[in-house]
Amino acid sequence: MKIITTSIPEVIVFEPPVFADDRGHFQQTYQEKQYREAGVPKSFVQDNQSYSIAKVLRGLHFQLAHPQGKLVRVTKGEVFDVAVDLRKNSPTFGQWHGEILSAENRRQMYVPENFAHGFCVLGDCAEFLYKCTDFYHPGDEVGLIWNDAEVGVKWPINDPLLSAKDQKLPTLAQVMDVLPNY
């Protein structure tokens, strides 16, 4: 498996090998020992899947008391996936890393706990799968507005389709008081 380091060391990109022949292909999408050795510190307790149409942007979401690390991948289509460091004591606090994940490139990205996460669909649609290190707690979820100038994510789409909830998310400056000292 190819392991790709990013500008934020805890955000890791994986390219699992694909074994293909004229019948199709096989790919191992997760093997705990291998991922742990690569820097994924915890086991996963929940798998999620979403389907989104063109220009949908989901995020940037995170949990306060029950933070989730996420191993994300795409099985149909293509997305631009983003992780934003929210660890106040981190040298990369407020910085982001974006990665194109697609059914074609089969890349996976690990988004650590205490990071905001979001993605936008780059084609007609996308099927997005992710493993989580903690269970989802609806009352614990908060987020950052997708176009926060302080964070400065360079999204590859204009005028995204957002949920009503995501349209009202605060800026990083507005959530500073609720962020724990990770």
> What's 11-46 look like in SS3?
CEEEECCEEEECCEEEECCCCHHHHHHHCCCCCCCE
Maximum CA pair distance of the chain?
Answer: 56
Contact yes or no for 59/70 (Cβ under 8 A):
no
pLDDT of 84 above 90:
yes
The yes-or-no verdict on residue 182 having pLDDT over 90 is no
pTM of the predicted model as reported, rounded to 2 decimal places: 0.95
Q: Is residue 180 part of a domain?
A: no
Local confidence band at 181 (pLDDT 50, 70, 90 cut-offs): confident
Residues labelled as active-site residues: 61, 130
What is the distance between the alpha carbons of residues 117 and 143, in angstroms, rounded to a whole number?
A: 9
pLDDT reading at 73 higher than 90: yes
Any domain includes 14: yes
Spatial separation of the C-alpha atoms in residues 129 and 113, rounded to whole Å:
17
The whole domain housing 80 covers 2-175
**What would the pLDDT profile of 133-158 be if each residue is shown by its tens digit?**
999 998 999 999 999 999 999 999 99
* 16 occurs within a structural domain: yes
Count how many domains the chain has.
Answer: 1
Residue 181 lies in a domain: no
CA angle 94–179–153, rounded 5-degree value: 25
For residue 51, tell me if it sits in a domain: yes
Asked if the structure places residue 114 within a domain, the reply is yes
pLDDT in tens, 38-66: 999 999 999 999 999 999 999 999 999 99
In a domain, 102, yes or no: yes
Give yes or no for a contact between 135 and 69, defined as CB atoms under 8 angstroms apart: no
Question: What span, in angstroms and rounded, lies between the C-alpha atoms of 162 and 75?
Answer: 22
Size of the chain in residues: 182
Residue 159 in domain: yes
pLDDT digits (tens, 9 = 90+) for 105-117: 999 999 999 999 9
CATH code: domain of residue 156: 2.60.120.10
C-alpha dist (Å) from residue 8 to 15, 65, 83, 98: 18, 23, 9, 10
Write down the pLDDT at residue 177. 92
Mean pLDDT computed over 124-133: 98
